[in-house]
Structures are given as C-alpha cells and as structure tokens.
Amino acid sequence: MRRRNVNILLTGTESDSHTWNLVYLQLLLEELGHPVHNLGPCVADELLTAVCAADEPALVVISSVNGHGYRDGLSAVRALRRAGFTGRVVIGGKLGVAGAADPEQRGRLLDAGCDAVFDGGDVGAFRAFLGSFSAADTRAVA
C-alpha cells in the first residue's frame, strides 16, 4: 500500500517575524514528499483558524524562534481546538526566552491540544513524528 502524503499547514507565531525557520521547515517537509502550505510569519490566531477551516490540513506545524513560542503557541492551539480543528498540531523551535520551555509549559501545550512539542528544534524527533503517520492519519491531497 502506497503511503499518502500528509497535507501540512506550516505557520509562524503571531509575534515572530522570522522567516528562515519557516523556509527551512518547508524545504525539509517537501523533501520528505509532503505538500506544504506555508502561511509565513506573524500569523494571528484568527487567520490560522480560518485557513484550517478552509484547507482542513492533517497537520499544523507551528514554528517559533523569537522565544515567545510557548505563549503564542498556547494561544494558537487553544484557538484551533475551540474552533473545532481535529487534525494534529505540533510546535517547535525556541519556545522560551531563557531557552527550552520548562516541563510545566510543555505540559500546558500538550494539555491545550498539541500532539507533540519539539523544543529546541529537535529535527530528528520531528522527522520521527512525521514517519509515524499512517494512511489513516492523512487526508487525500488533490
């Protein structure tokens, strides 16, 4: 059985204007064969939820490098879940201004609806996560 690709929505957080992380992730995801819709930096929760409602991605990847990923990511995932988004949501990058998010922050992100937290940009763990998708986890891509 041929594995279908995951329809991925890639986004920066509301306060993060960096783009190099998003370009890197898009290239990585596309190299792995996944179709990607990159929303870019400084994405407000309202835009993220609207695009998810329209595109129905199987996976939302939230990336942050400005150190406010925990705060902005928590807001984004809560907004997605309140809006009824049922796909997978992951967050990664520099999530705290002092470095890694503490275990309590990580727990809050997971409790709010994140399926995985890749603090510090653990690309190996992210690749393993992507490999864990089965055909049942993916949505048809036109």
Lowest mean pLDDT among 63-67, 100-104, 125-129: 100-104
Mean pLDDT of the chain: 87
Taking the CA atoms of 110, 76, 61 and 18 in sequence, report the sign of the dihedral they define.
Answer: negative
Q: What distance in Å separates the CA atoms of residue 142 and residue 131, rounded to the nearest whole number? A: 21
User: Using CA atoms, how far apart are residues 41 and 21, in angstroms rounded to an integer?
Assistant: 10
> What percent of the chain has a predicted confidence (pLDDT) above 70?
87
Token couple for 129: 């996560």
Look at residue 5 in the predicted model and tell me its pLDDT. 54
Which pTM does this prediction carry? 0.89
pLDDT of residue 135: 39
The more confidently predicted of residues 119 and 110 is 110
DSSP structural state of residue 136: G
- 15 close to 72: Cβ distance less than 8 angstroms: yes
Confidence of residue 119 (pLDDT cuts 50, 70, 90): confident
Q: What is the mean predicted confidence (pLDDT) over 33-55? A: 95
